Amino acid sequence: MADSLRWTREGGRLSLQGELDQDFLVPLWEAREEATQGIDTIDLTAITRVDTAGVALLMHLVAHIRQQGGTVKIEGKSEKMNTLVQLYNLTPDLIP
């Protein structure tokens, strides 16, 4: 399924695959508690599309991990992701 968002957890890594946009992120939102437990890295290498709702979800996941006392980094940010972060003047710590 090309038009979906999937994720896997391995150790402290949460790997996202597919489209991180408003049409497909609800299942990850609903599973955020389990999906982020013990996570220190969010891997976006296999993300093919992202929109502002996807950026907002990532910001929430990062904040949630931090509220639980963890630290997190994001790997594999695309140019599109970086552009959205810049357009909205988000500080680097929101999407580390």
pLDDT tens digits for range 35-82 = 999 999 999 999 999 999 999 999 999 999 999 999 999 999 999 899
Q: Which pLDDT does position 2 carry in this prediction? A: 55
Q: Kindly tell me the sign of the dihedral angle through the C-alpha atoms of 9, 26, 89, 63.
A: negative
pTM of model > 0.85: yes
3-state secondary structure 13-64: EEEEEEEECCCCCHHHHHCHHHHHCCCCEEEEEEEEEECHHHHHHHHHHHHH
Give the domains, in start order, of the chain with CATH numbers: 5-87 (3.30.750.24)
> What integer pLDDT is reported at residue 1 of this predicted model?
46
Task: Express as a percent the part of the chain with pLDDT over 70.
Answer: 98
